[in-house]
A and B are shown apart, each in its own frame.
Chain A
Amino acid sequence: MTTNHDPQLLGAYVLGVLDEREARAVEAHLASCPRCRAELTELRSMADVMGDVPPEALLDGPPEGGDLLLQRTLRQVRSERGAQLRRRQVGLGLVAAAVAAVVLGGGFAVGRGTAPDVAATQQASTQPVPPAGTRLGSATDPRTGARMTVQVKPAAGWVRVNASVAGIAENEKCRLFVVAKDGSRQEAGSWLVSAAGEKDGTNLDGSALIAPEDVAAIEVRNFDDERIVTVPV
């Protein structure tokens, strides 16, 4: 069989799937064919490398009945991400407090401050960079004496709002509105002023479906729809 030069059989030979007769024929040929021996060596090295790959490596898709595993993993990632953020947020709260203090000449603090030593180390590394198009505004209502500082950040066709509101009496029920240029408005949140809120102010996040370019002002009203403070932006 030494004349049977058929390198195509070498792959199957290396993989051990030739029947006995074929395998013997290949071996007989190999004994007299250096080219096929060289080829065999190369193919065998591939088979060896594949041997390092666990058969499971070829399975695709999600595991069966692995839903809890996925949920647990997502929870762990969320909580690790949360821990990172809490560390970062300390800095952000203080920057906001600083902004509010500058704008309003003091008088109230946002509710996110923390020990100053932590602040000193965090603040430098976490200078917030507001997304493009973020607008800031601040106003004091001469009639009610309520003060508000707002930040309006654009989203895709809507806006996120952060407001620091002070100078409203305890137990007042308040609503935060985003007012559009055409005079329509959307509620972005509501709250009850606490004793601490009356004294130190209240900080809240909200959102409203008004296109960023259509936003005219942020407004606080009570539940009787009486205007408490308006901040044009």
Chain B
Amino acid sequence: MAALWSRKREAAADEALIRSLYEEHGRALLAYATRLTGDRAAAEDVVQETLVRAWRHPDALVNGKGSVRGWLLTVTRNIVTDRIRARAARPQEVAETPLTPPVQRDHADSVVDSMVVLEALDRLSSDHRDVLMEIYFRGRSVTEAAEALGVPPGTVKSRSHYALRALRETFVGQQVALKGVAG
């Protein structure tokens, strides 16, 4: 009663949070989970769990878009890994040790790295980001990328160089900052 007003506002904020994460990152998460699980229905479950975990840990969502994406993807991968492990463990009926930590938890550094690199990619100029997207993530040749971006092949080459340089500069700065916070 007394808290009715703030309660409704909290509920609305919950919904807004889930919706905005879904609108911004849903496609990336579902595509990733689908590849890892090889099963769309299972992937949807994983993404649902990922979003709910994000809602439970709003403190993980305070950084830039790239960091948030990196965090979400890491959570997705961990959920998939845990489920695969749980399934693999089920037939064994001896010596159940539920408190044993998972064998190969993601190394903290690699988590930080993927968050940092996504954040760094997000901060590149669009020219730089586009050329890396075409060449690295879409696997296009210089000629194809040049055509897609509407620039000469020579520009694709030089831009890909400066893009990597810019990425590295942001990356190194970010990595120090994040590891400083984490450490």
Contacts and interface: CB of A to CB of B under 8 A. Distances in A.
A46 interface: yes
Contacts of B118: 53, 57
B157 A55 contact: no
Contacts of A162: 1, 4
B171 A46 contact: yes
Contacts of B18: 70, 73-74, 77
Contacts of A138: none
**Max count, chain B CB within 10 A of own CB: residue among A11, A45, A66, A205:** A11
Interface residues on B, range: 35 or more
A157 to B, nearest CB: 14
B2 A77 contact: no
Contact of B2 (A72, A78, A85, A95): A95
A211 interface: no
Contact of B5 (A15, A18, A77, A131): A131
B165 A11 contact: yes
6 contacts: A8-B161, A11-B158, A66-B26, A69-B47, A78-B11, A129-B2
B7 interface: yes
Interface string A139-170: 00000000000010101000010100000000
B28 interface: yes
Interface in B1-37: 1-7, 10-11, 14-15, 18-19, 22-24, 26-32, 35
Nearest to A14: B164
B32 A50 contact: no
Interface string B25-59: 01111111001000000001001100110010000
B52 A77 contact: yes
A63 B48 CA distance: 12
B164 A46 contact: yes
Contact of B1 (A42, A50, A72, A151): A151
**Max count, chain A CB within 10 A of own CB: residue among B19, B31, B136, B162:** B136
8 interchain residue pairs of minimum CB distance: A11-B161, A128-B2, A56-B32, A63-B30, A56-B31, A12-B157, A59-B28, A11-B160
B141 A60 contact: no
A73 B27 CA distance: 15
Contacts of A15: 135-136, 160, 164
Contacts of B83: none
A47 B138 CA distance: 14
Contact of B52 (A42, A47, A52, A80): A80
A130 B1 CA distance: 9
B163 interface: yes
Interface in A79-136: 80-81, 85, 88, 92-93, 95-96, 126, 128-131, 134
Contact of A12 (B117, B161, B165): B161
